[in-house]
């Protein structure tokens, strides 16, 4: 019996983790990609809890950066960045429910080299930005194209990185807002958290009828913080299974693997993201694992793990986790 | 010749500061108020540059808090807070233009006492919040109703505050987003900056065709930072004149009175809001007042003024200003 | 009867605001200046509560920057910056007492031009710094010498700024530490707060026997935030009167003028400095002015004022204040 | 040939990694412990580069919390917390050199149970604090004593944590300051970073003649961030070997194991600590591993790792690292 059959998704979800219909959300079916997560666009797909969706995502630049001699400032046009597939309407989903998304696979798609990273003016973790406004001259723009396949990310003659793909942006629609897909928040969004990877289930608090799942922005590999702001961006074929847990109010996204449970916070400054994630984790431990909240607080002091997703987006994202071996 | 005739609005605007048609945006005409600033709702009014609009705003709680024995947690329902009038469509406005709004008057409206402030759980500048998440127990809820008229804000037998009204939330629609009216940002929004008061002209960077002006959330008086998160909230009759400056790309809101020019930044942490505001001010001085940017930087070090709008909203807001006497 | 005779210093202090012995702490008497606030150096002067001290301060660069063609990077040598007079031993001062310092005058000293400001690499509010580390190239170094006298600060042909002098760095020794005079904190230090000016009384929580008062770093004028990090730095003759209030535990510096009471917080990020200052102000209002703490919190929301001292030092400093007219 | 013989310590150090004299710094020899890192106290030991020192550290509370019914507020007296062994004078060390400290072992010392954690009022990552000042009531105080030995940390019947000991506080003296041992900074100090563990070499920028090494505050195990502010605090016997690398100017502590190189930053807000650490890592890669700085920046975006030390001390600490397999 796999851990997934024991996960919240399986034990509380409608579908019990069993696969329903398989949908194919191709580029053609998607048509226009979206640059916000919201409830204003028409759903491109309607699914039942338990259904599987195979999604053709575009890279964060929608394929506009094709060569190392391209200049991002000429190719990219804010706010039309980070294209999202969706919205996917999940039948029965209502505010107060949890949408569980089991990530089954994330594979590079299309002609090689499939991976792009770059330096974008006034964007990134070690430069002045639109938010951390300085008078210093910006860094030069710079594009790097790299070969990515299931065997690795071929950075240079000297360095080969592992292929460790994940979904950079995934989330549900806010209740009444439509927010840039560059932003992460309580509904998910551009978290850029490497744990959102094949094998994990991620849980979102549904805000809008039908949940309106969006996803895109897959990465071939990424370090903690997505330092320069641009991971190894790839177009992908991503397969997820969605499920629904009724009447389970959570405040922020959660994630589960066979090894750990994780809560995800997004905020500025970075300590606020960490506070959110760790407070949610104490609450989860109290609600589902019979810990007193202060006991959980003191125990996490000794064994909590913190993963930095991004330190470059409009809000920074961290995941706080605890090993399942301490939750038995 | 008044300063206004010398303001940017007057010298660059279409209408030259002269009043056009007078519109009345009553509660009835407004109908449904809005809880986002965005381009998805239908405009309730269409105006020409130079037109004057008299707006009946509701208080931030839409009148739901009627007595000191009310509990905000029972009366208020997120995200349906901070109701906005609008959108007001301004003919000719396009991305890259500036919408100038001359604030003519802000007066309390309706039966007295008109003013409300309160303590809301996990909201405010001196408590743990949804963002600055703590395990401490929240403060008790508490409501205060005060009489407000043009002669003052009657806080208690002991304390009478001046009536210094201003518009708490005002802004244009983002290009493709619809964002909660609780949020301030580059397009304006919930800045809670007391300088946005009668006599001032505020300038917004237009993002969406027609500008889509929203406003609401008027305050009878407020201290720097709006410390507990709730100023003296009043329903109001607010009169503004709108004008348009074509092809003037600015990045953040600006404000002008006969005494000073001010730039407004919103961000977290607070120093980032201050950085934005001061960088924009150096740019304004360089663009319009013949200062070298580094000279402006050094001069503002000696005479720049900084006003804290709020330290409680999803982003904090500050205005950085310089006296016109140093700009001659 | 002047306000000072009603101030805490006068009503609770030993000396009742009356002047004692007049001491002259000349450059010669000072000898070696200090670059830390601490209890390890020998006092240069011992005074009684009520005594007046006339202090010859050096500018923040100890006079090393003498011309506009100087390069700060060649002239300045960290950590030997911001020279302080003192320590001044105040008889009877013990941990738990308050040292009250009445600032009587701050005048420019020595040959003209007396004022210096400059751009220092990787230091300032609108540049990447040692703390906000970026990869962008630093700004060019730049020195500006300006004439300063009691009639004004002569910035350029175009701009004359008012002469509004104050003490940039003043404080007592921590209990067991010796901390760089570039740093502000709970014991005072490099607050760069323009309210620390003639006419004000500033109150420090004594940490070390004898208080060990230090001061220096006087400014001819300064804007909110000391944006580029260097105000109009002047050598000065500064006259203060010290007094002692026994057994009055305060956590952070406080300040009083005839118009207002102010509390001073220093921290990063900037909102934490504001939180400290405002919390201390609610506590002061509760302790001395018969406000309930939550009442004070709600009232400050409507009439609190916040002044940014610096946004460039190792900690940022703000003063939160309330007008005495609301405290009657 | 072990990795250590290839480390910077071995290849550039005086001693070549070979052990010199073995010193025993017992409680008796130490005598008075210290609560600051500074150059004012007399060294308790003088060693040659290459020497080994066995140190008897006290726990962070100096053994004052002996039972679960103790109240920290009654037992602890600020600033007399976090007692340090030292200063240890290292012959030949001068400003501009690097002190390399090879951590050989950290073992619990004294009668069992040896481990203490607790909740201290207004201290910790999920509560209002002296810096993040709130009006909420503090959490209750709470003490937990746990058995710690080389086989594990026995948290409860339900949870046994691994014994993963490390040094919480270690550093050299600042040049002219003496700073609380509760603080981390560029000279080391209270970093609370679990990587400072047996097997690692940590490198400090020497500021003061003789380096003046201090250490203490050992932990039996700790999670990322030291969430409630108190890890499993243990008295220890810690063995380190010190070495000296002449004329190697580094700005912040660095660390090396056989798997990775790491740079350590301490600042508030947390993103500034991350910026420092990552910028130092790009500089290290550029200086010693033949990467162009922007190439290093882009590569760390894909494979950098970030470890949160503490989010509770006066400055927060993070370590940024890169695997040696990408540095070949």
SS (H, E, C) C90-137: ECCCCCCCEEEEEEEEEEECCCCCCEEEEECCCCCCCCCCCCCCCCCC
* Cβ neighbours around C8 below 10 Å, total: 19
Residue B96 and residue A241 in contact, taking contact as beta carbons nearer than 8 Å: no
> Which has the minimum average pLDDT: B156-165, C166-175, C215-224, D104-113?
D104-113
Chain A residues in contact with B276 by the CB 8 A cut-off are 130-131, 133
- List chains adjacent to chain B, taking adjacency as at least 3 C-beta pairs closer than 8 Å: A, C, D
Residue among A132, A136, A139 minimizing CB distance to C138: A136
- Closest CB from C140, C231, C308 relative to B302: C231
Residues 6+ apart with CB under 8 A from C11: none
What tokens does C2 get?
């002047």
- Mark yes or no for CB contact D221/A303 under 8 Å: yes
Q: State residue A110's pLDDT score.
A: 81
Q: Report the sign of the C-alpha dihedral through residues B191, B194, B199, B200, in that order.
A: negative
Tokens 């037992």, residue located: D75
**Rounded CA separation C127/D21 (Å):** 48
Q: What span, in angstroms and rounded, lies between the C-alpha atoms of D245 and D102? A: 13
CA-based nearest residue in chain D for residue B138? D136
Closest CA to A223 of A193, A247, A196: A193
Low-confidence ranges of chain B (pLDDT < 50): 1
The count of other CB atoms within 10 Å of the CB of residue C251 is: 15
CB nearest C126 (choices: A126, A135, A138): A135
Which residues from D are below 8 Å from B136, CB to CB? 127-128, 134, 136-139
pLDDT reported for residue D283? 98
Instruction: List chain B residues with CB under 8 Å of C308.
Output: 274, 306, 308
User: What's residue C315's pLDDT?
Assistant: 98
Cβ <8 Å between D127 and B134 = yes
Among D227, D276, D305, pick the best mutation site for testing chain A contact (most A Cβ within 10 A): D227
Dihedral, CA of residue D32, residue D34, residue D40 and residue D44, to nearest 10: 50
CATH of A3-252, one of 1.10.3720.10, 2.40.10.10, 3.40.50.150, 2.60.120.580: 2.60.120.580
Chains contacting D (3+ CB pairs below 8 angstroms): A, B, C
What tokens were used for D134?
């709130």
Q: What pLDDT score does C117 carry? A: 98
pLDDT at res. D114: 84
* Mean pLDDT to the nearest integer, A41-52: 98
Interface of D to B at Cβ within 8 Å reads 126-128, 132-139, 269
Residue C283, min C-alpha distance to chain D (Å): 10
Distance from CA of A292 to the nearest CA of C (A): 30
Which residues have CB under 8 Å from A77's CB, separation 6+? none
Residue-level pLDDT at D14: 60
Contact D126 B137 (CB under 8 A): no
Distance CA D59, CA D146 (A): 13
User: Contact A270/D270, CB-based, under 8 Å?
Assistant: yes
The closest of A240, B321, D184 to C223, measured between CA atoms, is: B321
**D267/C177 touch (CB, cutoff 8 Å), yes or no:** no
Q: Do D269 and A274 touch (CB under 8 A)?
A: no
Between A135, A178, A179, which is nearest B279 by CB? A135
Distance CA C66, CA C137 (A): 26
Cβ–Cβ pairs < 8 A, chains A and D: 149
* Contact assignment for D275 to C133 by CB distance below 8 Å: yes
> Which candidate from C176, C276, C280 shows the least CB-CB separation from D35?
C176
Pairing, β B36-38 against β B178-180: antiparallel
Sort A236 into a burial class: Cβ within 10 Å, 0-12 / 13-18 / 19+. buried
Residue D111 CB partners (closer than 8 Å, separation 6+): none
Chain B residue numbers touching D227 (CB-CB < 8 A): none
Do the Cβ atoms of A137 and C136 come within 8 Å? yes
Q: Along the 328 residues of chain D, how does pLDDT read in single tens digits? A: 456 666 776 677 766 557 799 999 999 999 999 999 999 999 999 999 999 999 999 999 999 999 999 999 999 999 999 999 999 999 999 999 999 999 999 999 987 668 999 999 999 999 999 999 999 999 999 999 999 999 999 999 999 999 999 999 999 999 999 999 999 999 999 999 999 999 999 999 999 999 999 999 999 999 999 999 999 999 999 999 999 999 999 999 999 999 999 999 999 999 999 999 999 999 999 999 999 999 999 999 999 999 999 999 999 999 999 999 999 8
User: Which of A227, A277, A315 to probe by mutation at the D interface, max D CB count within 10 Å?
Assistant: A227
Nearest by CB: C135 against A127, A135, A269: A127
The CATH code that applies to domain D3-249 is 2.60.120.580
Residue A99 in contact with residue A211, Cβ under 8 Å? yes
Partner-chain contact A139 C139, CB within 8 Å: no
pLDDT band of C3, cuts 50, 70, 90:
low
CB contact under 8 A, B276 and A177: no
Cβ of D136 within 8 Å of Cβ of B139? The answer is yes
CB contact under 8 A, A179 and B175: no
Query: pLDDT higher for A14 or A324?
Result: A324
Torsion sign across C-alpha atoms C48, C49, C54, C56: positive
Q: Which two tokens stand for residue B229?
A: 């998160």
Give the three-class secondary structure for A98: strand
Chain C residues touching residue B72 (CB < 8 angstroms): none
User: Is the peptide bond between B79 and the residue preceding it cis, with omega within 30 degrees of 0?
Assistant: yes
pLDDT at D15: 63
- DSSP H or E run through B143: strand B142-149
- Substitution target from C284, C302, C305 for chain B, most B beta carbons within 10 A: C302
Closest CA to A32 of A80, A81, A109, A85: A85
Residue to mutate among C137, C176, C314, with most D CBs inside 10 A, is C176
Residue ranges of alpha helices (H) inside C194-309 are: 270-288, 293-303
- Distance (Å) from the alpha carbon of A37 to chain C's nearest alpha carbon: 30
Asked whether the beta carbons of residue B268 and residue C271 sit closer than 8 angstroms, the reply is yes
- As a whole-number percent, the residues of chain C with pLDDT over 90 amount to 92
The residue with greater pLDDT, A112 or D79, is: D79
Q: Which residues of B touch C192 (CB under 8 A)?
A: none
Q: How far apart are CA D66 and CA D55, in angstroms?
A: 22
Buried b (16+ CB within 10 A) or exposed e, A165-198: bbbbbbbbbbbbbbbbbbbbbbbbbbbbbbbbbb
Q: What is the pLDDT of residue C17?
A: 57
Nearest to D126 among B127, B133, B138 (CB): B133
Nearest CA in chain C to A133: C126
CB pairs under 8 A between C and D: 86
| Cβ contact B326:C159 at 8 Å | yes
DSSP state of B138: P
pLDDT of A188: 98
Residues A271-319 have pLDDT tens digits of 999 999 999 999 999 999 999 999 999 999 999 999 999 999 999 999 9
How many contacts, defined by CB atoms under 8 Å, are there between A and C? 34
Within 13 Å, how many C-alpha atoms sit on residue A195's CB side? 28
DSSP-derived pairing of the beta strands C52-57 and C22-25 = parallel
Residue B1's pLDDT is 41
Contacts of C274 in chain A (CB under 8 A): none
**Spans of all domains in chain A:** 3-252
- The fold of C3-250 is Jelly Rolls (2.60.120)
């Amino acid at each position: 019996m796999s851990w997934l059959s024991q996960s919240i998704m399986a034990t509380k979800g409608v579908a019990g983790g069993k696969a329903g219909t398989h949908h194919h959300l191709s580029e053609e079916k998607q048509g226009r990609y979206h640059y916000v997560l919201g409830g204003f666009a028409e759903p491109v797909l309607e699914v039942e809890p338990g259904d599987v969706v195979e999604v053709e995502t575009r890279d964060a630049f929608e394929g506009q950066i094709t060569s190392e001699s391209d200049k991002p400032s000429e190719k990219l046009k804010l706010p039309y960045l980070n294209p999202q597939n969706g919205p996917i309407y999940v039948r029965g989903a209502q505010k107060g429910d949890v949408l569980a998304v089991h990530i089954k696979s994330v594979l590079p798609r299309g002609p090689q080299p499939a991976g792009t990273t770059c330096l974008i003016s006034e964007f990134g973790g070690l430069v002045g930005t639109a938010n951390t406004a300085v008078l210093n001259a910006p860094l030069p723009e710079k594009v790097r194209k790299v070969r990515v396949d299931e065997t690795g990310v071929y950075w240079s003659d000297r360095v080969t990185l592992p292929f460790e793909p994940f979904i950079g942006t995934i989330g549900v629609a806010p209740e009444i807002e439509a927010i840039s897909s560059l932003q992460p928040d309580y509904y998910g969004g551009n978290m850029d958290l490497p744990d959102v990877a094949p094998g994990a289930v991620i849980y979102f608090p549904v805000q809008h009828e039908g949940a309106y799942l969006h996803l895109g922005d897959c990465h071939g590999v990424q370090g903690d913080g997505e330092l320069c702001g641009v991971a190894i961006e790839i177009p992908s074929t991503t397969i997820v299974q969605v499920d629904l847990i009724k009447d389970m109010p959570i405040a922020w996204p959660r994630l589960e693997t066979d090894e750990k449970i994780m809560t995800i916070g997004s905020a500025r400054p970075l300590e606020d993201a960490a506070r959110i994630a760790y407070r949610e984790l104490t609450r989860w431990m109290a609600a589902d694992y019979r810990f007193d909240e202060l006991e959980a607080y003191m125990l996490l002091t000794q064994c909590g793990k913190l993963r930095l997703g991004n330190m470059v987006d409009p809000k920074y994202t961290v995941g706080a986790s605890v090993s399942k071996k301490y939750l038995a």
